[in-house]
Amino acid sequence: MRLFLDTANIDHIREIARLGILSGVTTNPTLMAREEGVEYRDRVIEICEVVQGPVSAECLSRDVPGLVEEARAIASWHPHVVVKIPVDEAGLEATSRLSKEGIKINMTLIFSANQALLAALAGATYASPFVGRIDDAGQDGMEVVREAVAIFDRYHLPAQVLAASLRHPRHVVEAAKAGTPIATVPYAVMKAMIKHPLTDVGIERFLADARRYTRLPAEG
């Protein structure tokens, strides 16, 4: 399983990349809007250079010719760029055309296993169910992930399920148990995955014990 970071904050990306656990990044217009004074193209290229892995950048056009033209332009920014396109009729048609050109597509805003299947059949590289938003609508977001993974595995579809809109560390565990190849998580969730109070207590206890027989400096 691979972990992506769902952010456009370059400082957060650099921090997590240094840990050796980051395989890619997903962005969207909402995340980019939080980065004041940053050109979209420049930030995507900057992220690609840090991550050296897939970086999703989203199209804004809503008709097929516009999506195709915009996707081609975005894909040209960097070899690691993956173009994000929402799953609807225009998105499926554009994805079908673009995938035949070798452009990698992350089909986004997926809320059902049916949509995930259609994304895969259209040629998307990644299909992104939005777990948290499905939960918000009173349904089981992780069940959509489980169904999509089972369908893709059963029929050996080349697309990969990318679990998105994950709200807490337990979501990541459930996605991993479901066999999801990739989960994209916000910075706060990634940090929460690292931390555990018992780890902190254990480190402090080890250091206190070590000071009894070494010259480790006291805190402060």
| Single-letter amino acid code for the residue at 199 | T
Q: Are 105 and 85 in contact (CB under 8 A)?
A: yes
Pick from 23, 25, 33: nearest CA to 2: 23
Q: Please list the residues that pair with 2 across neighbouring strands.
A: 182
Which helix (H) or strand (E) segment holds residue 56: the answer is strand 55-58
Known active-site residue 195 = no
Looking at the DSSP bridge assignments, the partners of residue 86 are 108
Catalytic one of 84, 100, 191, 195: 84
- Tokens for 120? 């895969």
| CA 183 – CA 117 distance, rounded (Å) | 18
Q: What residues are labeled active site?
A: 84
